[in-house]
Structure 1
Amino acid sequence: MNPMLILPIVIPLITALALVLSGWNGRKAAWLALIGALAHFAVNISLLLGVVNGGIQATYLGDWSAPYGITLVADNLAAALVAVTGLMGTTVCLFGIRDNLDESCGRGFFPLFHLLLMGVTGAFLAGDIFNLYVWFEVMLIASFILLAKGGSRIELIASVKYVTMNLVSSAIFLAGIGLLYAKTGTLNMADLALKLNENPDARLVLSSGAFFLTAFGIKAAVFPVYFWLPASYHAPPTAVAAIFSGLLTKVGVYALMRTFTLIFTQDQEFVTDLLLVVAGLTMVMGVLGAVSQNDIRRILSFHIISQIGYMIMGLALMSPLAIAGAVFYLIHHIIVKTNLFLIGGIIAYHGNGSYELKRLGGLFRHQAWLAVLFLIPAMSLAGFPPLSGFFSKFVLIKAGIEAQSWWIVAVALMVSVLTLVSMSKIWNEAFWKPRAEEKGDGATPVGFWMPACILASVTLGIGLNPGPLFEFSQETAAQLLNSERYIRAVLGEVVP
């Protein structure tokens, strides 16, 4: 067995168990959680370097070889997302230390947080469909408790909406799994790809693909099943909302990318046409929702939806450049969106706990550094050069032009303009207008500004030197579009 594929899952589990068994709370629990997050990040980076240098890696638990046993697989896409998960886990955990000590997150936050990281990591590394379902359920349990544990009315309402839609998604996902297994006798992704390519069954592919598209579409919050997200993500404490916004919907996007480039590849024209319409409508509905809101968290929540549309656009265009753009955008958005929620929390900290724009103001005068920190991810989200969002959108728009999909290019450009409008609204209301209440001008705790600075630096670093990430995204696209490499890595020799 390859320990580098197992440790990213085991470390969060051990950390969560240690936190529960120790009975620690307060500072001791916070530091133990941060040590676990740092260890998780370090192992994930090692896994990414191993995949980049050594090719696709696979391991089999209990020495049961594929397709019979539990398989963990790391290609470029999975390894990169696991590494970014480690970075988000570390920064949000650091932010959560202060949140936890202020009792915003409350007792039990850190064990649940690490269980959530375990579920996300396991989903990215899962080599078979059923274990992907299992990791989705681990994520659902941890996220539901994190969302509801505050016990306030708004949190309970949000958690009911969240868990209801995700349980519907899980039921549809499980039905699709049953149909696939009944027809093929396997759930290993590589084996499924091999069998469906050798003996394509149009009815099986279409029916199973519809189940998976619906299930993963709900989890990714695409049109028309996106409404649960803005109804949920505005309710929890900042640290919880930040990790949700950065990772949870991206697992749904990852599952769509994995299954529709590896398994359901037989009738791509119909699927890609459908996905392109879904992508356009997701962008439009998300950004219109954001423009109409006056609460920072609700604006950012709707922007999760609109930006998911760009990723689905890349998948729908299904060219090497488009897939590379989708991968670039996926990584960029995890970083930017997590940071925006963290900065939103800092804004509320200086606004007497309020996220309502009408109750904020004057922060540019009193907290100029916070204005700069906000502008970096906000302008990146809108696609301003030389930030990471500009290059990811540029690649996707170029891919749309090459495919002569003019309407989706027009939609993508329009949504970028409206994204700028909504970010400008936050800037004008929270930073530029005179403040209504002269309170909350004290120093920002280091545990709040340090994570935001780290993520802003990463955004700037990608924007100023996009070449390495774009080259990596191109290689990732080549892996995704050449399923033989993945299949051989799991079922046969490892292909570098």
Structure 2
Amino acid sequence: MTVTSGLVLALVGLPVLLPVLAAGLSLVVAPHSTRQRVLTGAVLTLVLADAIALLVVVERDGPVVVRAGEWAPPLGIVLVADLLAAMLLAIAVLVALAVLLFAVGQDSADRSGALAIPFHPAYLVLVAGIALAFLSGDLFNLFVAFEMLLAASYVLITLNAGEPRVRAGMTYVMTSLTSSLLFLTAIGLVYAATGTVNLADLADQVPRLEPGLRTALSLLLLVVFGIKAAVVPLHFWLPDSYPSAPAPITAVFAALLTKVGIYAMVRTQTLLFPRDDTWWVGAALAVATMLLGILGAIAQDDINRLLSFTLVSHVGFMVFGLALFDVAGLTGTILYIVHHITVQATLFLVAGLVVDAAGTPELSRMERGERERPLPAATGVLFLLGALSLAGVPPFSGFIAKFALLRAAVAHGGTAAYLLAAAALVTSLLTLYAMVRVWRGAFAPPGPPKVPLGRRLGTPRLAVAATLGMAATGVLLALGAGPLSDLSERAAAGLVRLDTYRDAVLGGGAP
């Protein structure tokens, strides 16, 4: 369905417009930190309600297309909310709200001033960029979304930063700028070859290009989004950049930014470069990402670096389903994205609580009992929920997503599919081992701290509540596995059946 006015226009436009407008207002009320916090929390709550309503509309009526300025596609700006975009938008805003509550709770408890004046406007711009990336109907506005993410994330990663964090932030920015230049080059080449950047129109135009040119454009976009998604061997920047940021920033980056890259990869590869059989390049990247990422995690002593390497490793599971290039494989990819957004946020938030209590991110020191204050038992339970899900232990959401991928591989058959399945099983076992290492270091040591350093501040309740909310979301995803799998399968079918997307954007006229 194509709608350009009324309530549905608001549903599609508000996730982008509302955070941007609120970011400007946040600067106006900046001297009053409480007002900033209330404004940001209220806006994200409204955007979450909007995203849920949009998901209901899309699930009921099909894709919703908004044509800005009444320009008929392929001209003008088009926002497209299909089932995949609506699902990811809803879960992304939920995570963003939970991380905001964690950040506010931790800042209030520590009185550290970590939430400096720029935090709230930058955070709102980050959310707007994520929403625009999911809803964008053309390559250029997808580029604009990534630039919004880059600008906001650099501000967030360097807030109250010393030299090490600024250096890590520069690594992140330089890598992202390189990716942006490659993306801009790809957009120019695509436009020169086809005369359009509208994704639906490109789905008609790109198949008419010469095979060599199609392959070159596909690989160029794969590199661009592979950098942003941290696919091996383009992952080098992530383990050095994410662990240096404060816990809530690391959590939202790990949960959402790499998934935006994966979403862009899935959207462009399925829509512009459809395949009838296994994508061997994607399969090779998936296997390398899963295995090298988890081996890197096992070698780490820093809890945040360990989790960062597991993040890289599990990006491979999402590429796994894409490489199969069928409905079953893409269903597994979508399930895994939704699962991983919640579980990765949970684990990094728990890691923030652990480091805050221990005064160090080093697992070896924690294992020796060198911590500033003990952790509440509830924190260990929250970590256990996330860790078991990440490792794929039944009945958690990670098991459901991995089972969908393995079943798709077996049904698909062939050497590549079996290699992907074998790599996934090995990675899951090694992930469980890595999670046991974290448990042994952070939660197993009994008794009071051996090195009390005089801190009297307790674990922030709001931060724990936000982490609990994320862990509970993961449990709810497992309990709702049936409906979630159905939604994911329908979203995957929409990716494979290109006419659904093309007809929604290009077919028919506005009422």
Identity among equivalent positions (%) equals 37
The equivalent residue for 2:215 is 206
Using the alignment, how far apart are the partners of 2:349 and 2:443 within structure 1?
A: 16
Task: State the one-letter code of the partner of 1:141.
Answer: A
The aligned residue for residue 326 of structure 1 is 333
Please state whether the residue corresponding to 1:72 is helix, strand or coil.
strand
SS where residue 79 of structure 2 aligns? strand
Answering whether residue 204 of structure 2 is matched by residue 194 of structure 1, we say yes
Q: Indicate conservation of the 8 Å contact 1:37/1:93, yes or no.
A: no
**What is the CA–CA distance in structure 1 between the aligned matches of 2:185 and 2:215, rounded to whole Å?**
14
Partner of 1:343: 350
CA distance in 2, matches of 1:167, 1:104: 26
Residue 460 of structure 2 corresponds to 445
Is residue 79 of structure 2 the alignment partner of residue 89 of structure 1?
A: no
What does residue 250 of structure 1 align with?
Answer: 259
More displaced, 275-284 or 436-445?
436-445
How is 1:397-408 mapped onto 2 (pairs within 5 angstroms)? 397-404=406-413, 405-408=417-420
The answer to whether the 8 A contact 1:350-1:441 is kept is no
How far apart are the structure 2 equivalents of 1:61 and 1:399? 39
Paired residues of 1:190 and 1:487 also in contact (CA < 8 A): yes
Give the AA of the match of 1:401. Answer: V
CA contact (8 A) 2:158 2:169 kept: yes
Structure 1 segments unaligned to the other structure (5+ residues): none
CA distances 1:130-171 after superposition (whole Å, capped 9, x unpaired): 110111111011111211232311211111111111111111
Q: Which of 393, 396, 416 is matched with 2:428 structurally?
A: 416
Looking at structure 2, the residues matched to 445 and 365 of structure 1 have their Cα atoms a distance apart, in angstroms, of: 13
- Give 1:235's aligned amino acid: S
Distance 2:410 2:311 in 1: 24
For residues 87-141 of structure 1, what are the alpha-carbon distances to aligned partners after superposition, in whole Å with 9 as ceiling and x for unaligned? 0111011111134443234331111000000001101100000110111111011
The answer for the alignment partner of 1:136 in structure 2 is: 146
Alignment partners' CA distance in 2, 1:240 and 1:380:
22
Match of 1:104 among 110, 114, 129: 114
Q: Is the 8 A contact 1:26 1:100 kept in 2?
A: no
Cα distance, 1:269 vs structure 2:
4.9
- How far off its partner does 1:27 sit? 2.1
By how many angstroms is 1:268 displaced? 5.8
**Superposed displacement of residue 3, structure 1:** 1.7
Partner of 1:29: 36
CA distance in 2, matches of 1:493, 1:462: 36
The SS at the match of 2:236 is coil
Aligned mates of 2:137, 2:426 — CA distance in 1: 38
Correspondence 1:180 to 2:204 = no
State the shift of 1:348 in Å. Answer: 1.4
Give the SS at the match of 1:84.
Answer: helix
Deviation of residue 200 (structure 1)?
4.0
1:426 partner letter? V
Give how far 1:355 is off.
1.4
User: What is the CA–CA distance in structure 1 between the aligned matches of 2:195 and 2:107, rounded to whole Å?
Assistant: 47
**For residues 416 and 253 of structure 1, what CA distance do their matches in structure 2 show?**
20
CA distance in 1, matches of 2:472, 2:433: 24
2:363 maps to 1:357: yes
CA distance in 1 between partners of 2:280 and 2:473 (Å)? 34
Q: Which letter does structure 2 place at the counterpart of 1:489?
A: A
CA distance in 2, matches of 1:38, 1:201: 48
The 8 Å contact of residues 360 and 436 in structure 1, kept in 2 or not, is answered as no
Conservation of the 8 A alpha-carbon contact between 1:296 and 1:426: yes
Separation of aligned partners in 1, 2:164 and 2:84: 36
Contact kept? 1:234, 1:241, Cα under 8 Å: yes
Write the distance in 1 (CA, Å) between the matches of 2:255 and 2:269.
22
Greater shift in the superposed pair: 440-449 or 36-45 = 440-449
TM-score (norm 2): 0.93
2:331 matches 1:315: no
Once residues 375 and 316 of structure 2 are traced to their aligned partners in structure 1, the CA distance between those partners, rounded to angstroms, is 36
Shift of 1:23: 2.4
